Amino acid sequence: MENFIVSARKYRPQTFDTVVGQAHITSTLKNAIRSSHVAQAYLFCGPRGVGKTTCARILAKTINCTNRTKSIEACDECESCKSFNSGHSLNIYELDAASNNSVEDIRNLINQVSFAPQIGTHKVYIIDEVHMLSQAAFNAFLKTLEEPPKHAIFILATTEKHKIIPTILSRCQIFDFSRIKIDDIVGHLETIAKKEKVKTEEDALHVIGQKVDGSMRDALSIFDQMVSLSGNNITYKTVIDNLSILDYDYYFKVTDGLLEKNTSASLLIFNEILNKGFDGHHFINGLAEHLRNLLVCKDEITLQLMEVSANIRERYKTQSKKTEADFLLRGLSLLNKADVQYKASRNQRLLVELVLLQLCSLQGNVSGVEKKSEVLSISPIAPTLKVEMITKQDKTVAEVNEAPVVYAKSISEPPTQNISSPAPSKEIPVKPTNGKIPLKGNMLSISSMTNGSTPLKTKSQTVSPSTTSTEEAKDLETAWKDFSESIKKKNKINLSSTLSARKPMMEDDATISFSVLNQVQEDEINFIKTDLLAFLRSGMKNPALQVKIIVDKHDTERKPYTGEEKYQHLSEKNPALDKLRQKFNLEIDF
């Protein structure tokens, strides 16, 4: 059987120009070689699979090449290049610090540094995962790293730069490798697929690029896995089925259901997702990413932030035109809260379903204009008209001298004429029945605004303000008393007495005032004010309530409250008490 070589090794870059996604690194190294300004020590930092070790090997190969090209690349023809390509070069030494991290390993490395190269001009020492070296090994390496022989170049590679001691960092030129962009990964995979004669779908390669989080090595490994699974035809469905990735179609369908306020469809789609073995947390994060992409598609300027294929991008643009930005922002806020609460929730499925129901309810309120059911559009009324209300046998009628009939209209249809404008010359006649007009449906008769009579009220306005205020006062008194009792059960008797001493008052619909005797009482109430507000808002069902504490400075009969005040009060009444304390040198525990 023929030996198979994985793509990560078979297509490993051999020159600077073939390195993918690190142009800022390769161009700097090539310029350093061109101008003979190669440093004695380099530190290559970055995530896994982005080309740190590859660039180190290319640098070692290019430095020792005796016939470099005009673009500062190795020729692959000289003796040094051939030995590098075959893996037998004596000018490169690689050390894995993950398994060779002791002082003894570093001493062996230092002993080899003193020997000059037989072929070429430099010896390159590559130490991979250098952050794994022990503290003693780092200290043993310092002197050699700072003053190596002229022929020695050290290249340190690490994924965790913060674990390297500052004294090592100060002796190296530091290069930060970036994550490889999805478009670069897709382009490189397409190139390899052509060489291997593998048919691929662009959407499939984009899914692979998103899955690997910027690592080219991981992308090539998944590519080999897909080739082994599906042969020479990699499709989008094959990739998402075998990488446990939720299809874009589910997110588009769920969003359509949310926009149509179709709660049943949204819940059924979520149930189908769970039946396929996907986690609810995975769905929440995916839907948040989907709404984010829709928001990005709202503007052509931010469209470049979309890291998807052209086909999927068009679908996003089409759906984004149906959605309002306010809906997307509020939806993202809900999903973000659900993401935080998911792990702590006992019923995680219910949490996701509640979020879907809330998202469905958002769509009806995104316009920012709340439609009122009915308002009155009032036509001009003559100043001498008068309407009197008479109630007979549960039938409300209006005695009319002369009055036009006024109909209720939608708020979107403003009155054609202001109420204060003069009456038109031509009046609309109204034919009364025995001088009375029954009030039916939305038909109302309205008295003149200038004769001082009471205007006609609709059904929703029949509750008098005095009745409402009385009910609020009772609710406030009940809630206040309940909170005082709950404080008393917690052994806060003094505070409970303070709350029970006086009654709170409603200044307006959202403000409660409560007077206290002194600053001490005010401070005590302010200390539990948050709990008090929460209790009152819940009991009175008014989330806008606020409590204002007022110190009654005009209270002439102020009673002693603190221990010190009580002692002063008693000693003023009975001076012998203070003499007794001084005589026996007593201390009072206030």
What is the Cα–Cα distance from 526 to 47, expressed in whole angstroms? Answer: 52
Specify if 574 maps to a domain: no
CATH assignment of the domain containing 478: 3.30.300
pTM over 0.85: no
The string of pLDDT tens digits covering residues 97-131 is: 888 888 998 988 888 888 888 777 888 999 999 99
238 and 152 assigned to the same domain: no
Domain end (from 437, 462, 487): 462
What is the Cα–Cα distance from 35 to 33, expressed in whole angstroms? Answer: 6
Cβ partners under 8 Å of residue 25, min gap 6: 19, 44, 51, 55, 175, 177
Q: How far apart are the first and last CA of the chain?
A: 94
DSSP code string of 21-77? S-HHHHHHHHHHHHTT---SEEEEE-STTSSHHHHHHHHHHHHH-SS--TTS---S-
pLDDT at 451: 42
491 and 420 assigned to the same domain: no
142 and 110 assigned to the same domain: yes
32 and 170 assigned to the same domain: yes
What is the Cα–Cα distance from 280 to 266, expressed in whole angstroms? Answer: 14
125 and 54 assigned to the same domain: yes
136 and 203 assigned to the same domain: no
Specify if 572 maps to a domain: no
Angle (nearest 5°) at CA 172 between 171 and 178: 150
CA 311: distance to chain centroid?
27
The string of pLDDT tens digits covering residues 158-204 is: 999 999 999 999 999 999 999 999 888 999 999 999 998 889 888 88
275 and 420 assigned to the same domain: no
DSSP 180: P
Residue range of the domain that includes 510: 470-551
CATH assignment of the domain containing 207: 1.10.8.60
pLDDT at 495: 81
107 and 211 assigned to the same domain: no
Specify if 255 maps to a domain: yes
pLDDT at 554: 58
186 and 296 assigned to the same domain: no
157 and 33 assigned to the same domain: yes
Domain end (from 242, 269, 294): 242
14 and 126 assigned to the same domain: yes
Q: Which two tokens stand for residue 539?
A: 């009991």
pLDDT at 562: 73
- Listed as ranges, residues in the chain with pLDDT below 70 are 1-2, 363-469, 553-559, 561, 589-590
pLDDT at 389: 39
pLDDT at 84: 87
pLDDT at 157: 93
pLDDT at 244: 80
Specify if 19 maps to a domain: yes
Specify if 563 maps to a domain: no
Domain end (from 301, 336, 365): 365
Specify if 566 maps to a domain: no
Specify if 578 maps to a domain: no
pLDDT at 2: 60
pLDDT at 188: 92
3-class state of residue 175 by DSSP: strand
17 and 42 assigned to the same domain: yes
Specify if 570 maps to a domain: no
Structural domains of the chain, count: 5
